């Protein structure tokens, strides 16, 4: 009986150790921003208040698109009006997490530092010192249980 209980405790520990991490966004800008979580469907808008608004979601694998993107605009309806947006995207695979940062329709955080920092220090950060994407690919990879945090106006 004791062996059975120890086995169950050990298995429970293994399941917890491999749970996926979280994608986080912190708004340190002096203005509100709006975020949508987008995969095959679009979430309702989330307003991240100026100077500390936060958003977090556990990584999931979208059944149709595979990945998800946290789309952020400075306007409350920016996603649907073609306003500049920063996209913090990720794809969760069985053994890895892929993440990147990109802008479309302009650079909503031009002049402000933005960065994605993983909780696993062995994984690479993405840093845009002036809020504008550098040339080349921004795709990084990390362990699936690592959190990644995008800080706006870091």
Please state the domain extents for the chain: 20-152
Asked if 76 contacts 34 with a C-beta cutoff of 8 angstroms, the reply is yes
* pLDDT on residue 8: 42
H-helix or E-strand spanning residue 8: helix 2-17
Q: What is the pLDDT of residue 108?
A: 98
| Cα–Cα distance, 81 to 70 (Å, whole number) | 17
In this prediction, residue 53 carries a pLDDT of 99
Do 147 and 99 touch, CB atoms closer than 8 A?
no
The predicted pLDDT at position 16 comes to 45
Q: pLDDT at position 135, please?
A: 86
Predicted pLDDT of residue 136: 81
Q: Check if CATH label 1.20.120.160 holds for domain 20-152.
A: no
* Weakly modelled stretches of the chain, pLDDT under 70: 1-17
- pLDDT score for 18: 74
Q: What is the pLDDT of residue 104?
A: 97
User: What's the pTM value of the predicted model, to 2 decimals?
Assistant: 0.87
- Per-residue pLDDT at 124: 98
CA atoms of 5 and 28, how far apart (whole Å) = 47
């Amino acid at each position: 009986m004791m062996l059975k209980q120890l086995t169950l405790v050990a298995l429970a520990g293994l399941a917890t150790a491999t749970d996926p991490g979280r994608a986080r966004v912190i708004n340190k800008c002096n203005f509100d921003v709006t975020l949508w979580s987008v995969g095959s469907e679009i979430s309702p808008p989330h307003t991240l208040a100026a100077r500390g608004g936060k958003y977090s979601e556990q990584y999931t694998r979208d059944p149709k698109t595979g990945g998800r993107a946290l789309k952020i605009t400075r306007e409350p309806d920016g996603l649907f009006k073609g306003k500049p947006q920063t996209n913090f995207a990720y794809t969760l695979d069985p053994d890895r997490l892929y993440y990147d940062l990109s802008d479309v329709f302009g650079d909503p955080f031009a002049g402000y530092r933005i960065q994605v920092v993983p909780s696993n220090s062995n994984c690479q950060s993405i840093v845009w010192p002036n809020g504008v994407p550098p040339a080349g690919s921004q795709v990084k990879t990390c362990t699936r249980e690592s959190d990644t945090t995008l800080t706006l106006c870091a």
